[in-house]
């Protein structure tokens, strides 16, 4: 479900970078180059178990040791989180940090036609900070016109603003009149002048992939099917030919970039998998053949199963067209049922929410829906840690609490294995050794 062109811009915002703290010191206090985080429990996502009395040793921005003997090395400052439970920093593989539905304050067309890139530029840093505060230390931003996500990523990496570690796609590729074409449904006399990913035919598609790589894309996103938040009539019909999808994947892989395919419809999902995509986003109407193909090809499936609640509850109030609500009604329940089938089939599944379709910072609301529709709490957490890291090509870097990994840690006051909704209330966030927030109850 792709948000609107109004949610794209070049990031201009400035902010501050959080730094690590020891114990209850203020967030502005520099930490020692060596520190330890102590808690009562640690979710070992690789083993699928919970371990007691962990001590995570950190040097600079990486973890150097995880021990359970209670011994603190000499010269190491300690952040003591008491009875809290530690987890790796969470990963969301499908976000849109360049917009938020709350920008549409009851007037869809005002938002579409009167906002510019500068509006989104002001707001994107706020969305990035909300996401980090919610415990998501790494995200994959899949679709942003004008290369706003490239600029946002770079600003975060420079330390100009606070936000999650980002992999970005730049403009999502798609067919004229399709889900990537923001002018669909408007008068032909209205022109939008954003940099988008509209491309038709094999040669134009290859050129568009190269343009995205040239301008800093980490991953390539394309629209294999129609969608919900766009004006075309279908919600799931294929919008590229098999040859065009093959060209996207071949060219992206040639440049060492993974490919994410937006696909609701069963046929579009299968075409994308046959083309060799690394992940299918939404996966709403996947059928038995699609599930078999995904397993055969090792394709990850991302089901954004929380969205349905928010869209059906809030979008009419915000003035979105009735066609959007009607299309969501076609796919919402079926997507959840197919999510359940995918879990039972043992598919490779990662955590992707489409945050930006609902407010940023709410990413963790999806965990409870995932468990309601078939996953155990541990499986849902693994989808947002080890599985997500594997999809992003970042195993060994993020997604676990282990030596050599970035010091990305989150903690909750309760037990997320007994109640996964605890992850909606993350109280401690560390990214690369710097403490973003510490609200743990002591």
CATH of residue 101's domain is: 3.20.20.140
pLDDT at 181: 66
Q: Which of 370, 392, 414 is the last residue of a domain?
A: 392
Does 318 share its domain with 263? Answer: yes
Does 181 share its domain with 226? Answer: yes
Query: In the chain, which residues have pLDDT < 70?
Result: 1-32, 104-114, 181-187, 189-195
Does 314 share its domain with 417? Answer: no
- Tell me the whole-structure pTM to 2 decimals: 0.90
Does 333 share its domain with 434? Answer: no
Tokens of 27: 């967030």
Does 85 share its domain with 96? Answer: no
Q: How many domains does the chain have?
A: 2
357 within domain boundaries:
yes
Q: Cα 91 to the chain's mean position, in Å? A: 7
pLDDT at 111: 67
Residue ranges making up the domain that contains 370: 90-392
40 within domain boundaries:
yes
Does 169 share its domain with 231? Answer: yes
65 within domain boundaries:
yes
Does 230 share its domain with 353? Answer: yes
Does 117 share its domain with 198? Answer: yes
Does 324 share its domain with 428? Answer: no
8 within domain boundaries:
no
1 within domain boundaries:
no
pLDDT at 20: 35
Q: CA 437 to CA 441: how far, in whole Å? A: 12
110 within domain boundaries:
yes
417 within domain boundaries:
yes
14 within domain boundaries:
no
Tokens of 356: 């930006």
Does 352 share its domain with 419? Answer: no
Please choose, from the candidates 429, 348, 344, 420, the residue with its C-alpha nearest in 3D space to the C-alpha of residue 388.
348
CATH number at residue 420: 2.30.40.10
């Amino acid at each position: 479900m792709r948000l609107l062109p109004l949610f794209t811009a070049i990031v201009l915002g400035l902010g501050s970078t959080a730094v690590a703290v020891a114990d209850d010191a203020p967030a502005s206090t520099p930490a020692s180059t060596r520190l330890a985080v102590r808690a009562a429990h640690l979710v070992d996502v690789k083993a699928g178990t919970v371990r007691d009395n962990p001590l995570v040793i950190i040097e600079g921005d990486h973890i150097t040791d995880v021990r359970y003997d209670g011994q603190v090395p000499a010269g190491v400052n300690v952040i003591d989180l008491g009875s809290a439970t530690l987890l790796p920093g969470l990963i969301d593989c499908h976000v849109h940090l360049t917009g938020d539905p709350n920008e549409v304050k009851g007037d869809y067309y005002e938002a579409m036609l009167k906002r510019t890139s500068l509006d989104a530029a002001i707001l994107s840093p706020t969305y990035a900070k909300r996401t980090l505060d919610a415990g998501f230390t790494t995200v994959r931003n899949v679709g942003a016109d004008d290369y706003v996500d490239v600029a946002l990523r770079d600003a975060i990496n420079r330390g100009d603003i606070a936000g999650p570690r980002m992999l970005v796609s730049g403009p999502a590729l798609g067919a004229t009149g399709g889900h990537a074409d923001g002018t669909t449904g408007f008068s032909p006399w209205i022109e939008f002048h954003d940099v988008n990913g509209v491309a038709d035919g094999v040669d134009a598609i290859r050129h568009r992939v190269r343009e995205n790589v040239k301008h800093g894309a980490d991953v390539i996103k394309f629209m294999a099917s129609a969608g919900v938040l766009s004006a075309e009539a279908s919600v799931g019909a294929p919008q590229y030919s098999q040859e065009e999808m093959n060209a996207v994947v071949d060219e992206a892989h040639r440049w060492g970039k993974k490919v994410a395919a937006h696909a609701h419809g069963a046929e579009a999902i299968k075409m994308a998998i046959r083309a060799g995509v690394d992940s299918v986003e939404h996966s709403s109407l996947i059928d038995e053949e699609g599930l078999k193909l995904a397993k055969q090809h090792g394709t990850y499936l991302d089901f954004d199963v929380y969205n349905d609640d928010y869209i059906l509850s809030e979008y009419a109030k915000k003035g979105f067209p009735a066609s959007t609500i009607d299309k969501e009604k076609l796919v919402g329940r079926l997507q959840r049922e197919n999510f359940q089938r995918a879990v039972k089939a043992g598919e490779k599944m990662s955590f992707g929410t489409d945050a930006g379709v609902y407010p940023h910072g709410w990413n963790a609301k999806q965990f409870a829906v995932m468990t309601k529709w078939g996953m155990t709490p541990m499986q849902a957490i693994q989808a947002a840690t080890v599985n997500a890291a594997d999809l992003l090509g970042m195993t060994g870097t993020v997604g676990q609490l282990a030596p050599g990994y970035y010091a990305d840690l989150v903690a909750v006051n309760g037990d997320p294995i007994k109640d996964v909704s605890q992850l909606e209330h993350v109280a401690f966030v560390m990214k690369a050794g710097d403490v973003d927030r510490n609200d743990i109850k002591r």
